[in-house]
Homo-oligomer: A and B are copies of this chain.
Amino acid sequence: MNEALISPRLEIESLPGIPLIHPGDDLAALILRAMEAARFELRSDDILVITSKLFSRAEGRFVNLRTIEISERARELAEEIDKDPALVEAILRESSSVSRKKTGVLIVRHRLGFVSANAGIDASNAGPPNGEGDGEYVLLLPEDPDASATRLRVALESKLGIRLGIILSDSHGRPFRQGTVGTAIGVSGLPALLDHVGREDLLGRKLEYTVTALADQLAAAADLVAGQSDEARPVVRIRGVKLHARNGSARDLLRDPADDLYA
């Protein structure tokens, strides 16, 4: 069973002092350095929720829109929805299909399986990869966010001798509702879903709704303190979850398109 026990009290705290990340940077080392400077401690069962942008930068996932080769398909779609053809090209390369489109808006199914605007490509904060030079850079999501989470988890666990959970988060818009929410796109060391099957309610009857999106709710909670823009604190520690099962993946959070009434 995917079962994580959550205590009646959670503490959610952001780590200060994470610098602007450049390609090739060692995230584990940078986090350990910031932790030491801030006397910020990690212990077993802590979960770190980290903005995926940090991994994108460290992994060098920059694309220069000025030099990207624009396909005929991207050019036509860009004209139809009045968007930059180079950006549309970058989005399509990261996508398996277009979910919805209208003027200025392009919502796609990302090659990783989730549905979001612009395939998660973020023009803010990208800048040139090494802080210098020309070009108009955007940042793609990490190649394999579950794997990125696992690499960081193993590095921190072996350095600190503890067991951790790691979530890579991204801000997603939603059908029907205004405002973005932090969403889990990479998971390692904890279950993505929390299974309530078999438990009974206060009157001894079976629950109707039995699975909660643990990793998404943790990502949303962390987004509250992660801040945005000038006060950004992209690394957030959540304390109060007991990590029993360790085998989660962000793919567990994806609804099969064949079973999705909004696909």
Contacts and interface: CB of A to CB of B under 8 A. Distances in A.
A214 B252 contact: no
How many copies of the polypeptide does the oligomer hold? Answer: 2
Interface in A210-263: 211-214, 216-218, 220-221, 223-225, 227-230, 232-233, 240-241, 252-255, 260-263
A122 interface: yes
Given A6-B225, A206-B124, A175 B261 contact: yes
B13 A177 contact: no
Contacts of A14: 8-9
Contact of A196 (B196, B217, B228, B252): B228
Interface centre among A11, A12, A123 (most CB of B within 10 A): A12
A39 interface: no
A193 interface: yes
Interface band, chain A: 35 or more
Dominant SS among interface residues on chain A:
mixed
Given A107-B261, A114-B177, A217-B182, A229 B202 contact: yes
19 contacts: A6-B227, A20-B202, A115-B175, A123-B208, A124-B201, A176-B260, A179-B192, A179-B214, A181-B220, A182-B217, A196-B228, A200-B230, A201-B229, A201-B230, A201-B232, A202-B230, A214-B224, A217-B224, A225-B240
